[in-house]
């Protein structure tokens, strides 16, 4: 029922690299990887380093050959 957006972040631990899905509400907070227990900072939207999260999702799908 709840359609809360989730943020996908990859664990920075090179031995883990697990993709974690965290709720938007976790932005700016630190979450812990369930696989290796590394603390990961969830980036805020619009932070330097990339376009807003919505931009990529709103882009038209590329034509598949």
Chain residues binding Zn ion by CB under 5 A are 11, 13, 16, 18, 33, 35-36, 38
Please identify, using beta-carbon distances, which residue of 18 and 27 lies nearer to Zn ion: 18
Residue among 1 and 26 whose Cβ is closer to Zn ion: 26
- Helical spans, DSSP H, in the chain: 53-58
Q: How many CB atoms lie within 10 A of CB 11?
A: 20
Question: What are φ and ψ of residue 3, in 5° steps?
Answer: -115, 45
Q: Minimum distance from CB of 9 to Zn ion (Å)?
A: 10
Task: Return the number of the residue (13 or 23) whose C-beta is nearest Zn ion.
Answer: 13
């Amino acid at each position: 029922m709840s359609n809360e957006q989730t943020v996908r972040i990859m664990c920075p631990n090179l031995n883990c690299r697990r993709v974690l899905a965290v709720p938007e509400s976790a932005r700016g907070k630190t979450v812990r990887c369930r696989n290796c227990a590394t603390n990961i900072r969830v980036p805020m939207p619009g932070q330097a380093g990339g376009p807003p999260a919505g931009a990529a999702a709103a882009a038209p799908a590329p034509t598949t050959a």
